[in-house]
């Protein structure tokens, strides 16, 4: 046991949004959330999020770890992040995974990676920040690479390693997944199933593009960023999650062209890459 634990976990981008069918896919991106858990002799757990925000999720993560290992005592938990919040880039999953791992580090315990993700999913449900449990997002944040999941069964169907740059357009607005119109999302379920089949076949870029057009239509988001990315020569672009950010898997000059195209919009354009290594204990 140490007095303080540290960990980092990944943001992620969407290939298949699981809200319509409970089947999802996501990829880890090289933007990280860091967590610190400092043990104390108090009875409670208090959390702070750099930049502000409700700490209920990260506090619940630490509490579930303490409960699992019958650890007595309190703690403070804090997070800081490179992942834009409430943009569809899995900031909640990253915060949950990092907080669970940092708590484990602090008390000298360990869990299998997917069990860490599942504990974070439970905390997210308890905190009311997710609709489906977001196991696909949690698994991508934890494992890195591309994951395909069944969120209803909380099972990992497959994981794959890919090499690609990731271009992100994050508008100057936020949208929380707990506020998503689930009924409208499920209207497009038969076509999301088609996208999922492409994903199972390994056609991740075509799958995410079809997913993006479907969910933009269902949820009222603009398809223009996606069309501009396709004009720039990429095959894979999508609305990420149910929120306002868009992502593109791109290579070389195609990545340059997407950056140039998306820079015309109000908001942030971020250039990063797929992270295949996953979450890590330590600073």
Mean pLDDT of 268-283: 96
Q: What percent of the chain has pLDDT over 90?
A: 83
Q: Are strands 74-81 and 23-40 parallel, antiparallel or unpaired?
A: antiparallel
pLDDT at 174 over 70: no
Q: What is the pLDDT of residues 188-203, one digit of tens each?
A: 999 999 999 999 999 9
CA distances for 28 relative to 23, 90, 108, 222, 244, angstroms:
17, 9, 26, 24, 18
Angle between helices 56-68 and 91-107 (to 10 degrees): 40
Mean pLDDT of 101-118: 98
Mean confidence (pLDDT) of the chain: 93
Do 249 and 166 meet the contact criterion of CB atoms below 8 Å apart?
yes
pLDDT at 137 over 60: yes
Do 279 and 10 meet the contact criterion of CB atoms below 8 Å apart?
yes
CA-angle at 38, arms to 37 and 40, nearest 5°: 135
* pLDDT at residue number 25: 97
Q: CA-CA distance, 187 to 171, in Å (whole number)?
A: 26
Contacts of 245 (CB under 8 A, 6+ apart): 84, 87, 88, 89, 168, 169, 170, 171, 239
Q: Are strands 268-273 and 165-170 parallel, antiparallel or unpaired?
A: antiparallel
Q: What is the pLDDT of residues 32-66, one digit of tens each?
A: 999 999 999 888 999 999 987 789 999 999 999 99
* pLDDT at residue number 99: 98
pLDDT at 166 over 90: yes
180: confidence class by pLDDT, cuts 50, 70, 90: low
In degrees rounded to 5, what are phi and psi of residue 77? -130, 135
Two structure tokens written together for 261: 């195209």
Mean pLDDT of 242-269: 94
Q: Which of 76-80, 83-87, 143-147 has the lowest mean pLDDT?
A: 83-87
Domains in the chain (CATH in brackets) are: 4-160 (3.30.230.10), 165-273 (3.30.70.890)
pLDDT at 71 over 50: yes
């Amino acid at each position: 046991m140490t007095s303080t634990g540290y960990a980092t976990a990944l943001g992620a981008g969407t290939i298949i949004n699981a809200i319509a069918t409970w089947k999802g896919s996501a990829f880890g991106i090289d933007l990280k959330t860091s967590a610190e858990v400092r043990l104390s002799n108090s009875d409670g757990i208090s959390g702070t999020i750099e930049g502000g925000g409700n700490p209920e999720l990260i506090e619940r993560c630490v509490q579930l770890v303490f409960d699992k290992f019958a650890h007595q005592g309190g703690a403070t938990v804090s997070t800081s992040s490179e992942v834009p919040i409430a943009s569809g880039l899995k900031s909640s999953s990253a915060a949950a995974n990092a907080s669970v791992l940092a708590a484990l580090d602090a008390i000298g315990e360990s869990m299998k990676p997917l069990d860490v993700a599942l504990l974070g999913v439970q905390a997210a449900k308890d905190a009311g920040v997710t609709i489906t449990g977001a196991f696909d997002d949690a698994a991508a944040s934890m494992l890195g690479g591309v994951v395909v999941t069944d969120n209803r069964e909380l099972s990992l169907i497959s994981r794959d390693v890919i090499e690609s740059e990731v271009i992100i357009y994050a508008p100057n607005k936020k949208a929380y997944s707990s506020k998503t119109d689930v009924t409208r999302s499920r209207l497009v379920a038969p076509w999301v199933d088609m996208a999922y089949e492409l994903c199972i076949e390994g056609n991740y870029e075509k799958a995410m593009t079809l997913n993006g057009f479907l969910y933009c239509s269902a949820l009222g988001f603009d398809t223009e960023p996606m069309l501009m990315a396709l004009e720039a020569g990429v095959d894979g672009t999508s609305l990420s999650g149910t929120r306002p950010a868009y992502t593109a898997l791109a290579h070389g000059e195609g990545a340059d062209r997407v950056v140039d195209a998306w820079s015309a919009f109000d908001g942030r354009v971020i250039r990063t890459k797929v992270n295949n290594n996953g979450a890590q204990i330590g600073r």
